[in-house]
Chain A
Amino acid sequence: MGSNEQGLSPAQYPILLVLADGDQHGCAIMQRAAETTDGRTRLGAGTLYGAIKRLLDAGLVEESGDRPVSDLDDERRRYYRLTPLGRAAVREHSMHLRKLVEFARRQGVFAVQP
């Protein structure tokens, strides 16, 4: 449970966010993480699976037996899904980030500079 106690790493959080929308395989996670952050989060395969391994060990994600598009899909691909614990962790982390963003707004960080 190291990830949950110490917070999510910058690689783990977008993975959990992508999986919150449904089961995905590794390459799709990489693509969606890049798309949803305008290319700012580019996870390499090594980084992605390092993070997935830690998330698996922490019980935040699990392998999924369901294959959304089994006819067209490579049977060797492994899909991952969020566990209830993972969903709670991503919610908690998002709340924490929202508080930080609210604080930043109050601090005038988003104010237009003259």
Chain B
Amino acid sequence: MSAQTGNQPGAPALLRGIDRIFGAALWLYPRAWRDAVGEPMRDALRDQLREACRSGPLALLWALVAALLDQTLAASEQQAQALGMRPVRLRVVYVAAIVLAGVVFVQRVPIGLAYGDWMAQRAAFRDQAQAEAQGAAYEALLARAAQAVPPSASPDQQAVAASLE
């Protein structure tokens, strides 16, 4: 089951993330090409990156850069052939798209952490606001209760009003 390792729960999260990016990058290829050899190519890429991962982070980084470059050139060439145009223009677009995907991937973790902090702060503010609103409402209720109890009230009522104040 070697080619499926990228999708198994025990596989490194990094490889799963990379696999998702390359899975999305399949859409840069023409549909006919994708249907014919898209999935086997993804499997081969998974195998290649997993092998590189075993050799260490530098080897993985190198394999990743090489794979990105290869995917960019191959996808632009295939798409240009399908559209009957020169691949040079498409390469520029594809390089931009793949670099953007890489940046998003690299930034994913810091952005996730920042988003988590922001959500936590937001929840704290909301709790504080709720507490303040509840406090204010309680104060208003006490004031209304004090006004509602007339001076001529019974000793018990006056005791209750005094305790509320």
Chain A residues with CB under 8 Å of chain B are: 25-27, 30, 42, 44-50, 52-53, 56, 73-74, 76-78
Check B41–A45 contact: CB distance below 8 A: yes
A77-B40 CB under 8 A given contacts A27-B47, A46-B74, A50-B74: yes
Q: Considering only CB atoms, which chain A residue lies closest to B76 in the complex?
A: A46
Check A30–B40 contact: CB distance below 8 A: no
Give the residue of A46, A74, A77 whose beta carbon is less than 8 angstroms from that of B73: A46
Give the residue of A45, A56, A78 whose beta carbon is less than 8 angstroms from that of B48: A45
Give the shortest distance, in Å, between B114 (CB) and chain A (any CB): 34
Give the secondary structure class of A's interface.
Answer: helix
Chain A CB within 10 A, most for which of B40, B45, B69, B74: B40
* Top 6 A-B residue pairs of the complex, sorted by shortest distance between their CB atoms: A44-B70, A46-B74, A26-B44, A27-B47, A49-B41, A74-B3
B162 within 8 A of A: no
Q: Considering only CB atoms, which chain A residue lies closest to B72 in the complex?
A: A46
B67 within 8 A of A: yes
Give the residue of B36, B40, B69 whose beta carbon is less than 8 angstroms from that of A26: B40
Contacts of B74 in A (CB 8 A): 44, 46-47, 49-50
B109 within 8 A of A: no
A26 to B48, alpha carbons, bound, how many Å?
A: 10
Q: Considering only CB atoms, which chain B residue lies closest to A29 in the complex?
A: B44
Contacts of B45 in A (CB 8 A): 45
Give the shortest distance, in Å, between A23 (CB) and chain B (any CB): 14
Check A46–B43 contact: CB distance below 8 A: no
- The residues in B between 53 and 80 inclusive whose CB is less than 8 angstroms from any CB of A are 66-67, 69-71, 73-75, 77-78
Q: Considering only CB atoms, which chain A residue lies closest to B40 in the complex?
A: A78
Give the residue of A48, A53, A56 whose beta carbon is less than 8 angstroms from that of B44: A48
Give the residue of A47, A53, A56, A74 whose beta carbon is less than 8 angstroms from that of B43: A74
Q: List 27 A-B contacts (CB under 8 A).
A: A26-B41, A26-B44, A30-B48, A44-B66, A44-B67, A44-B70, A44-B74, A45-B41, A45-B44, A45-B45, A45-B70, A46-B41, A46-B70, A46-B71, A46-B75, A47-B70, A48-B44, A49-B41, A49-B44, A49-B74, A50-B33, A52-B37, A53-B33, A56-B37, A74-B2, A76-B3, A77-B43
